[in-house]
Structure 1
């Protein structure tokens, strides 16, 4: 995850209603160490979701994977659902960034453009199965 994406999620967490769902105290996102720990938790959850069903992943497992004490993790995410909500948000940013590269001028009809967008989505999900899991997995938190 690039620093740019980390800045985007921090902006959303500080300035929107999403902040109330993820962490009630916006000031917990200001330190460099805090950003690094939050990123480790997100990457730990993403790594675990590569091999496990999202419904089987616990906050304790994510903390262990990330090397972050569970008591510390609660400062960033109140529960596992909040971690996956943040991952969904980051995935949406990634997907939209890729879809923006599909140029409309290459198509003379909207059907061709729509087909190109769908093809690009298929490519995205083929390259990163965790993105598809977060969207389509049954009972995803």
Structure 2
């Protein structure tokens, strides 16, 4: 491995948090993330230091540096917490209402994610803020794939999708298109505005329309009577 490769690996290592295995370590880890959430809500990530995080959390500096080799690592850990909560609470096993078209479902997914960012300043800042470590970019991509899986599962349940092995990738690219509009809105206004959110929806749906068409046939649902015999 040459010196350039070593420096790249080193940067990646310092941008990734070290997750605790023991109960005591997990409690400190979550306490640090709570403190980071409070800090990043009130100030820019560039103004946060690990020493400051240690002081606010009341956790020894040695523990902070053990879990987070850098501020980037702490931000990655906070992003991971938000992505997991978003997935577990808002998207998985969710029912979508008033689905007259595949576009309705797409827009509802986008609106649920946007609402989460509006209610959680920490999530908004770590996702769209100026920090862009390798570990955080990888985590953001994993989140896009997760959203794509949600779309694929939900659309397949409600509509007849044309045969293709590429739907997961198409949905991920549509999510990335929409995300780029949100990122521009955050850079300009510090939030996702209604106007730019609407433009992101149009761009993402226009891309998917190239492959899905304007309309999809609704999937036929089979209902079984409650008193029907089971064989």
Q: What TM-score bracket applies, with the shorter chain setting the length?
A: 0.7 to 0.9
Whole-angstrom CA distance in 2 between matches of 1:131 and 1:42: 12
**Shift of residue 100 of structure 1?**
2.7
Bigger mean CA offset, 97-106 vs 51-60: 97-106
Contact 1:46 1:130 in 2 (8 A): yes
User: 1:51 is matched with which residue?
Assistant: 42
Question: Is there any run of 5+ residues in structure 1 with no aligned partner, and where?
Answer: 1-17
Which of 16, 22, 25 does residue 17 from structure 2 map onto? 22
Distance 1:59 1:122, change over 3 A: same
Shift >4 Å, 4+ stretches: none
1:79-90, aligned counterparts within 5 Å?
79-90=70-81
Shift of 1:105: 6.7
Aligned length: 120
2:107 corresponds to 1:107: no
Higher helix share: 1
Alignment deviations for residues 32-86 of structure 1 (CA, whole Å, 9 cap, x no partner) = 2111111111111111001000111111111111001112222222121111111
Distance 1:140 1:48, change over 3 A: farther
1:11 corresponding residue in structure 2 = none
Distance 1:130 1:86, change over 3 A: same
- 1:100 and 1:108, CA in 2 relative to 1: closer, same or farther beyond 3 A? farther
Which structure ranks higher in relative contact order (CA pairs < 8 Å, sequence separation ≥ 6)?
Answer: 1
SS of the residue 1:75 aligns to: helix
**Residue of structure 1 aligned with 2:83, choices 87, 92, 95:** 92
Q: CA deviation at 1:31?
A: 2.2
- Could you tell me how far apart the structure 2 residues matched to 1:47 and 1:68 are? 15
- Give RMSD over aligned pairs: 2.4
Deviation sequence 1:96-117 (CA, Å, 0-9, x none): 2212354257413210001111
TM-score (norm 1): 0.74
